[in-house]
Homo-oligomer: A and B are copies of this chain.
Amino acid sequence: MQLSATSQYAIRILVYMAGEKDSQSINAAELAETLLIPYKFLAKIMTSLVKVGLVESTRGKEGGYKLKKKASDIMVGDILDAFHESIKDEQCILGIGFCNGLCKCALHDQWMEPKFLLQKMFRESSLEDIAGRGCKR
C-alpha cells in the first residue's frame, strides 16, 4: 500500500527542482547526489519526465534539466499519471473491479473516503505547495 519507488523518486526530484532558483538548470549528477537516488536510475526517470512534458532538458556542456511549467502548475497527480500510478475512480481495494455501487461489500463505502482524499491530495497539491517545506531529500 504505497507508491512505487519510481514515483516517489520522481516527486522528490521535481519538488527539489521547484525549490531551486528558476530558469537555472540542474544536472543529473547534482540531483542524484543530493537526493540520494542512484544516478543511472535517476537519469532514466528524468528521460521519462522529459518525454511526458513536465521537464525540459538541454544536452551538452552547461546542460541539465528545468521544469517546463511553473511549479504551481505541476500537480503531484501529473507525476503519478506519468508512471500510470494515479488512483482511478473504479479502483477496488480488493482488486476485483468495478461494482460501481451495484453490489457493495462493506469495504466499498469505507474505501471510498480515503480513496477520495488521496485523489484530492494528488490532484490539488502542486510542487509549489510542497517545495520549501519539510524534509530536504
Chain A interface residues (CB < 8 Å from chain B): 1-3, 5, 8, 11-12, 15, 76, 85, 87, 91, 93-97, 99, 103-108, 110-111, 113-115, 117-118, 121, 125, 129-130, 133-135, 137
Contact = CB atoms under 8 A, between A and B. Distances in A.
Given A121-B110, A125-B106, A125-B107, A94 B133 contact: no
Nearest to A137: B96
Contacts of A91: 2
Contacts of A85: 1
When A and B form their complex, which 8 residue pairs have the shortest distance between CB atoms, in order from nearest? A105-B134, A114-B117, A114-B114, A8-B95, A106-B130, A110-B121, A106-B129, A103-B134
A101 to B, nearest CB: 10
Given A114-B118, A130-B106, A96 B135 contact: yes
A104 B134 contact: yes
Nearest to A97: B135
23 contacts: A1-B1, A1-B3, A1-B87, A1-B118, A2-B95, A3-B93, A5-B95, A8-B94, A12-B94, A12-B96, A15-B105, A94-B135, A96-B137, A103-B133, A103-B135, A104-B134, A106-B130, A106-B134, A107-B130, A110-B117, A114-B117, A114-B121, A117-B117
